[in-house]
Amino acid sequence: MHPILIDLGRLELPTYGVLLAAAFLLALWLMGKLARREDISADHISNLWVTMLLAGLIGAKLTLYLVEWRMYWENPSNFLYTWRSAGVYYGGFVAAAVTAAFYLRRHGLPLGKVSDLVAPALALGQSVGRWGCMAAGCCFGKPTEIPWAITFTDPRAQQITGVPLNQPLHPTQAYLSLNALLLCGILLLLLRAKRTWRWPDGMVFWAYVLLYGASRFVLEFYRNDSRGQIGALSTSQFLGLLGVAVATAALAVLARRRRSDP
């Protein structure tokens, strides 16, 4: 692929960083558009999104170091080779969610309602950001002979991410991107249904957690990059199943609340 978008010798502009910025802005645009329908301040939405981004980046990176602690303990120089990695998504998600909850509470904003708006925007941002993974070579797939396999040839991609070169691989980055785009569409439909059927706030957010966790669990079987193990499962599979369980319980509680409302 193309890990470096602009190379001026000592100054490089990574393609991943550009697409991550594009993902952030596109997600912010969608969330702002949805928030206007709910009469929520655009300033609050912008501040919330920046706060979530910073917390998410820190949480994802710290989770990476926690999951792979043995590797860094045995060879501290690995910090130098993985500092450009985005980290573990679920770690970033939890950190962003907790930070957002504090922000919303401090400013007196409705947690459930805003969370429902965050969900489709987050999925849209993921869809775009995964193409940054494709360009960099991270999150690469297992060897395959399928017609739509991709082959990395840039030595810089291997240096940055460890992706094998000149070998057809599952385009797991594309799988993850298309999955997130599909989730975004589903969540937007659920938002519309929520207004029509007067569902409790929070149902769309927990639907995202459930659907993403289940779909990510399946897609993890096609990945071949080092991402930590918990028993027989990858870290993301384990956390995905945990998310599905929590989301299922939360949706059951919200459904019961809806039935008890007059």
Q: What is the pLDDT of residues 160-181, one digit of tens each?
A: 788 999 999 999 999 999 999 9
Token output for 115: 């969370």
What is each CA distance from 120 to 108, 168, 193, 228, 238, in whole angstroms?
22, 32, 14, 28, 23
Give dist(CA 145, CA 166) in Å, integer.
Answer: 13
Q: List, in sequence order, the alpha helices (H) in 198-234.
A: 203-219
Q: What is the pLDDT of residues 227-248, one digit of tens each?
A: 778 889 998 999 999 999 999 9
Closest CA to 240 of 203, 205, 212: 212
- Report which secondary-structure segment, H or E, holds 230: strand 229-230
- Of 124 and 227, the structure prediction assigns the larger pLDDT to 124
End-to-end Cα distance, the chain: 56
Please say if the pLDDT value at position 85 is more than 80. no
Please say if the pLDDT value at position 81 is more than 60. no
Q: What is the domain extent for residue 221?
A: 4-260
What is each CA distance from 187 to 64, 94, 143, 194, in whole angstroms?
28, 19, 33, 10
Q: Provide the 10 A C-beta neighbour count for residue 51.
A: 15
CA 29 centroid distance within chain: 17
- Of 38 and 6, the structure prediction assigns the larger pLDDT to 38
pLDDT at 262: 53
Share the mean pLDDT of the chain: 89
How many domains is the chain partitioned into structurally?
1
pLDDT at 173: 96
pTM of structure:
0.90
